[in-house]
Each structure stands twice: as structure tokens, then as C-alpha cells.
Amino acid sequence: MITVIKGMRDLLPPESGWFAQLESEARAIFAQYGFAEIRTPILERTELFTRSVGEETDIVGKEMYSFADRDQTSLTLRPEATAAVVRAYVEHRLWDQPGLARLYYSGPMFRRERPQKGRYRQFFQIGAEVLGGDAPQIDYELLEMLARLLDRIGLAGWTLKLNSVGCAQDRERYQQALRAALEPVKGGMCADCQRRAETNPLRVLDCKHPEDQPIIATLPALQDYLDDGCRNHFEQLQKLLQAGKIEYQNEPRLVRGLDYYSRTAFEFQHRALGAQNALLGGGRYDQLAERLGAPKGTGAGIGFAIGLDRLVSVWRELTAPAPAQTDTGATTDAETRTGIYLAPLGEPALIPALELARQLRQTGAGKKRTDAMIAVVVGDAALAAKKHLQLASRAHYRWVVLLGEREIASRELTVKDLASGNQSAHVWEQVALHLGL
């Protein structure tokens, strides 16, 4: 009898129904935030991952499934999807399209690591990337979207851990301090940490061995080495999270395991997973697109990946019996959605705009959780009204809601229908009704 390869598995009913339902729930939420699906190849050139993920990472050093093609080109089964999405962003010049590129993906990834609870050598991820901007509000809305997804599926008890890993210059200063702090203590740490202390000391902070945690707790904190720009970005993000009432924990020693991350780093964790407690994680990678060939200033990005195997295992333990395996048919194509673009006119309008977006998305969810949802996106508060209208028109949104000082003070919002050209004013509480939500 031929059996499945070690570390891989067959997904059989009813477990496959949980995967289908979770993917459907995620797609529905992503649609509300203006994301559209991208599908990249499972095979990529090996150099994509060595250049982006980092040669000193465990993924590249120990875990990739790589082989030579017939023409001796080195190919790799994708170990993660962000590098592939950014490669597609660069190759197809997606920065030429209006506004931010909001892309989500789902599918199998491959890493030859030690199998454990919720972790396999072929595993499934669903994730999203936002490319083309670095404003803190982009980070905030991504985190809000993830919090809403976990709440939507009834997964109580999650914890959001948040940090800033700064820019390259910050990390260079920090790595010097970290090497000095590790020198007298690294001999008492696990073999991986002893190796990382020499090759890439930042990875020591990502160690999950319980016996190493007391030592890690004494090491310097990266936040103490941030420059003014990175510190301000992190502070602004925290203010938005507080205004949005999204609970988080500032975790100064949280890092992500890949070299391309910068500034914001985060994890959603859950106690049900034990020591390996990360449900999902991600962060900002403002230089990756430029490293792969994008013009300077066009490719700042942030994204996340959800390990479906791990998330489903927690979901099954904490919620009701498996859902029926049906195709919900949720609409996610950007060209067929009715979209709403909120235009905050100046920084004072940003938080009210984010609050209105939350209300519209919650109203648009409707009574049936599987209904197709209407995209609601918030524009850059630094843009003028004319620029907002141009971007919304080029990106095929139906409605633009303008929020300036006058509108916020009077609670009477200006709504423009880009299909007819008509413009009207509506009190805040009636805007959702006017927009057909």
C-alpha cells in the first residue's frame, strides 16, 4: 500500500468542509475591504525566495523544496506567498493602476520542517497584501479586517501582539547591540539560537523554545532603536487601534521570521495552540518590491498569512459541529461589486471616516453571513477632494462620501453618485440607507 508522504495529509470530509467554510468567510470579509483575488504559480524560481525571504532564514537554509528543472533552472515549491505576489506586482506593473493594490490569495505552501500540531509540510494559507502605500491607516484597516474575521467566525480569546521592527538602519544599530548582549549568554541557548546569534541575531527573538524565553526577555528591545519616522508611524498606528477599540498588546520583542519585514510586525495568537500559539501573522515590507525591480516609492506594502490548518484546528475545538460543504458563491470580482469610497479631507477626518467605514461594512454584511458584500474603502486623508474623486472614478467605485470639517461638524455628509453624476447631502445615520445597504 502506498501511503501519504510524511508531513503531508489528505483533507477528508467533514474536515474539508471546515476549510471551505473558513475560506468563504475570509473572502466575504476581504471583499468588504476592497480586495480582489490573485493566483500565482506554485513553482517559482529559487532566487525569488533567496533574494526576498533571506538566505540566513530557516526557510531558505533548511526547509525549501528545491530542484533543478530539465534546463538546470533552480525551481522551488513556494514556501510562502508574499514574495510571489510582490513578484507579480512588479512584473505586471500594478503600480500603474489607480489607488492601492489590494490582493488576496489562497492555496498550498511547502516547507520541509518538523511536523507538529497544526503544522504540515504541505500546508494551506489564505492571506492578503496591500501594495502602494505606507500610511498607518493601511496597517490599521488590515488589523481591523483580521479582528473582524476572527470575531465573525466566533473564535473568541485571540490576542493581537504588535511591534515595530523599524527600518534597515534601525535594525543595523539594534543588531550590533543584540550581538553584544548575546555574546555572554548564547552558550546556554538552543543550538538554533547559538547559530542565529552568529548569522542573524534578530532571528533569536523568534525562538519558541520555552527554556530560552528567560534569556530572550533580558535582551535589548528593538523599539528603543527606532528613528523618529518609524517611531511616529508606530505611535500613529496605536492611536488608530485605540480609537477603533481594537485591543492589542505592545510586544517589543516580537519579530517575524523573514528578512523583508520593516516597521509594523504583528501576530494574532490563541492559547488553544499551546507554545506554538500563532494563528496568523504578518507585517510591513516597504523595500521588497523595489528590491525585486519596482520603481522607487511605488511598492511599500503590508500583508499577512493565515495558516488554515492551525486556524481550523482551533475553530473546530471551540465552535459548533462542522458546517456543510457548500459553494456559497460569494462575489469578489472588483468589476462587478458596488463599491463605496470614503474620502476624508484632512487628518481630523480620518478617524470619523474609519468609524463610518466600520458602520457601513457591518450594515452591508446583512443577515446572511454568506451574502456577497459591498466593498467600502477609505482614501488617503492627505488627498484633496478632486484627487479622491479621480481615484474613485478610475477604480470603478459607484459612490464617494466626502468627509470634511463641515460635514463632520454638521453630521451631514456629501454623497456623490459617480454613475449618474448626482450629488446629495444626507445625515450620517441615513447614509447607509441611501447607499442601499
- Distance, CA of 108 to CA of 101 (rounded, Å): 22
Predicted confidence (pLDDT) at residue 434 exceeds the cutoff of 80: yes
Which grid coordinates belong to 12?
477528508
Q: Which residues of 245-264 are buried (b: 16+ CB within 10 A; e: fewer)?
A: ebebeebebbbbbbbbbbbb
6-35: per-residue pLDDT in tens?
989 999 988 898 999 999 999 999 999 999
On the question of a common fold for 15-167+227-318 and 340-434, the answer reads no
pLDDT at 177: 86
Q: Which residues contact 409 (CB under 8 A, 6 or more apart)?
A: none
| Confidence category of residue 76, pLDDT binned at 50, 70, 90 | very high
pLDDT at 91: 97
Q: Please report, for residues 108, 323, 344, the alpha-carbon distance to residue 17 in angstroms, rounded to integers and kept in the order given.
A: 16, 6, 41
- Distance, CA of 433 to CA of 369 (rounded, Å): 19
Which grid coordinates belong to 261?
519585514
pLDDT at 98: 92
Predicted confidence (pLDDT) at residue 417 exceeds the cutoff of 60: yes
Q: In what order do the strands lie in the sheet with 74-77?
A: 43-45, 74-77, 66-68
User: How many other CB atoms are found less than 10 A from the CB of residue 94?
Assistant: 21
Predicted confidence (pLDDT) at residue 337 exceeds the cutoff of 80: no
Greater pLDDT, 219 or 329: 219
Predicted confidence (pLDDT) at residue 338 exceeds the cutoff of 70: no
Q: Which residues contact 257 (CB under 8 A, 6 or more apart)?
A: 57, 58, 59, 203, 206
Tell me the average pLDDT across 49-77. 86
In which element (H, E) is residue 158 found? Answer: strand 158-164
Helix, strand or coil for residue 108?
A: strand
Give the range with max mean pLDDT: 53-62, 69-78, 251-260, 331-340: 69-78
pLDDT at 175: 84
Give first-to-last CA distance, the chain, whole Å: 56
| Confidence category of residue 55, pLDDT binned at 50, 70, 90 | low
Share of the chain above pLDDT 90, in %: 60
Tell me the average pLDDT across 156-183. 88
Predicted confidence (pLDDT) at residue 53 exceeds the cutoff of 50: yes
- Distance, CA of 52 to CA of 48 (rounded, Å): 6
Task: Find out whether the peptide bond into 214 is cis, omega within 30 degrees of 0.
Answer: no
- Distance, CA of 357 to CA of 338 (rounded, Å): 15
- Distance, CA of 374 to CA of 362 (rounded, Å): 10
Which grid coordinates belong to 136?
498607518
| Confidence category of residue 314, pLDDT binned at 50, 70, 90 | confident
pLDDT at 114: 81
pLDDT at 277: 75
Identify which of 49, 48, 71, 74 has the alpha carbon closest to the alpha carbon of residue 62: 49
Identify which of 22, 10, 15, 38 has the alpha carbon closest to the alpha carbon of residue 334: 38
Identify which of 10, 38, 279 has the alpha carbon closest to the alpha carbon of residue 122: 10
Predicted confidence (pLDDT) at residue 202 exceeds the cutoff of 90: no
Amino acid letter, 23: E
Predicted confidence (pLDDT) at residue 336 exceeds the cutoff of 70: no
Q: Which residues contact 433 (CB under 8 A, 6 or more apart)?
A: none
| Confidence category of residue 203, pLDDT binned at 50, 70, 90 | confident
Tell me the average pLDDT across 300-306. 96
Predicted confidence (pLDDT) at residue 163 exceeds the cutoff of 70: yes
pLDDT at 274: 64
Predicted confidence (pLDDT) at residue 367 exceeds the cutoff of 50: no
Tell me the average pLDDT across 264-285. 84
Predicted confidence (pLDDT) at residue 410 exceeds the cutoff of 50: yes
pLDDT at 437: 81
Backbone Cα Rg of the chain:
22
Domain spanning 15-167+227-318: which CATH class is it, in words? alpha beta
pLDDT at 409: 92
Q: Please report, for residues 38, 46, 49, 82, 180, the alpha-carbon distance to residue 86 in angstroms, rounded to integers and kept in the order given.
A: 11, 15, 11, 6, 35
- Distance, CA of 130 to CA of 117 (rounded, Å): 30
- Distance, CA of 256 to CA of 266 (rounded, Å): 8
Predicted confidence (pLDDT) at residue 168 exceeds the cutoff of 90: no
240-260: per-residue pLDDT in tens?
999 999 999 999 888 876 778
pLDDT at 148: 95
Which grid coordinates belong to 356?
463610518
- Which runs of E-coded beta strand occur in 239-332? 249-250, 262-270, 278-284, 301-307
- Distance, CA of 261 to CA of 252 (rounded, Å): 15
Residue 24: HSE in the Cβ half-sphere, 13 Å Cα cutoff? 19
Predicted confidence (pLDDT) at residue 331 exceeds the cutoff of 50: no
Identify which of 184, 264, 189, 278 has the alpha carbon closest to the alpha carbon of residue 222: 264
Predicted confidence (pLDDT) at residue 191 exceeds the cutoff of 90: no
Strands 101-110 and 36-37: parallel
- Distance, CA of 411 to CA of 405 (rounded, Å): 10
Tell me the average pLDDT across 303-311. 92
Mean pLDDT across the chain: 88
Tell me the average pLDDT across 204-217. 83
Amino acid letter, 245: K
Domain ranges for the chain: 15-167+227-318, 340-434
- Of 3.30.110.40, 3.40.50.800, 3.40.640.10, 3.40.50.300, which CATH number belongs to 340-434? 3.40.50.800
| Confidence category of residue 56, pLDDT binned at 50, 70, 90 | low
pLDDT at 106: 96
